[in-house]
Amino acid sequence: MIDDKLIGSPSSRPEAIPKPSSPPSDRLPAPFPRRLKILAALTVLLAVCFATPLWSLARYALHSDLYSHVLLIPFISLYLIWLRKQDLALASGPVRRLAIIPLMVGVAALAAYWFALHAGWKPGRDDYLALMILSWWSFLLAGGFLMLGAETLRRLAFPLSFLVFTVPFPTIVLEWIKAFLQQGSADAAHALFWLSGTPFSRQGLQFDLPGFSLEVAPQCSGLHSSLVLFITSLLAGYLFLRSPWRRAVLTLAVIPLALVRNGFRIFVIGELCVNVSPDMINSNLHRKGGPIFFALSLIPFFLLLLLLRRSESKRRSTVGP
Q: Is residue 82 included in any domain, yes or no?
A: yes
> What does the alpha-carbon distance between residue 19 and residue 42 come to, in Å, rounded to a whole number?
38
Whether pLDDT at 264 is above 50: yes
Pair (72, 155) in one structural domain: yes
Q: Is 166 contained in some domain?
A: no
Is there a single domain that holds both residue 146 and residue 179?
A: no
**What mean pLDDT is predicted for residues 231-255?**
94
Residue 90 shares a structural domain with residue 63 = yes
Looking at the fold, whether 156 and 184 belong to one and the same domain comes out as: no
Question: How far apart (Å, rounded) are the C-alpha atoms in residues 206 and 186?
Answer: 8
- 52, 186: one domain: no
**pLDDT by residue (tens digit) across 121-151?**
888 899 999 999 999 999 999 988 888 767 7
Residue 253: give the domain boundaries: 173-319
Residue 1 in any domain: the answer is no
11 inside domain: no
Average pLDDT of the segment spanning 246-265: 94
Domain boundary among 132, 161, 190: 161
Give backbone dihedrals phi and psi of 72, rounded to 5 degrees, phi first.
Answer: -90, -20
Domain C-terminal end among 101, 134, 161: 161
Domain membership flag for residue 25 = no
Note whether 239 and 275 are within 8 A (CB). Answer: no
273's enclosing H/E stretch is helix 254-275
Report which of residues 228 and 316 the model is more confident about.
228
pLDDT at 11: 47
CB 198 within 8 A of CB 209: yes
> How do residues 193-224 score in pLDDT, each as one tens digit?
999 998 989 998 989 988 888 888 877 788 99
Both 77 and 134 in one domain: the answer is yes
- Does the structure show a pLDDT above 50 at 6? no
Residues 209 and 157 in one domain: no
C-alpha 40/C-alpha 38 separation (Å) is 5
- Compute the distance between CA of residue 280 and CA of residue 146 in angstroms, rounded to an integer: 58
Q: 185 with 269: CB under 8 angstroms?
A: no
Summarised one tens digit per residue, pLDDT across range 103-122 is 999 999 999 999 888 888 88
Domains: count for the chain: 2
* Residue 138, phi then psi, degrees to nearest 5: -65, -45
Predicted TM-score of the model (pTM): 0.81
Averaged pLDDT for residues 294-303: 93
Same domain, 157 and 182: no
Q: How confident is the model at residue 257 (pLDDT cuts 50, 70, 90)?
A: very high
Domain boundary among 120, 140, 161: 161
Q: Looking at the domain assignment, is residue 232 inside a domain?
A: yes
Q: In what order do the strands lie in the sheet with 201-203?
A: 201-203, 206-209, 212-215
Q: Is 14 part of any domain?
A: no
Q: Over pLDDT 70: what percentage of the chain?
A: 84
Give the C-alpha separation, 207 to 139, whole Å. Answer: 48
Instruction: Residue 221: name the closest of 250, 189, 248 by CA.
Output: 189
One domain, residues 309 and 212? yes
Q: What is the mean pLDDT of residues 274-294?
A: 83
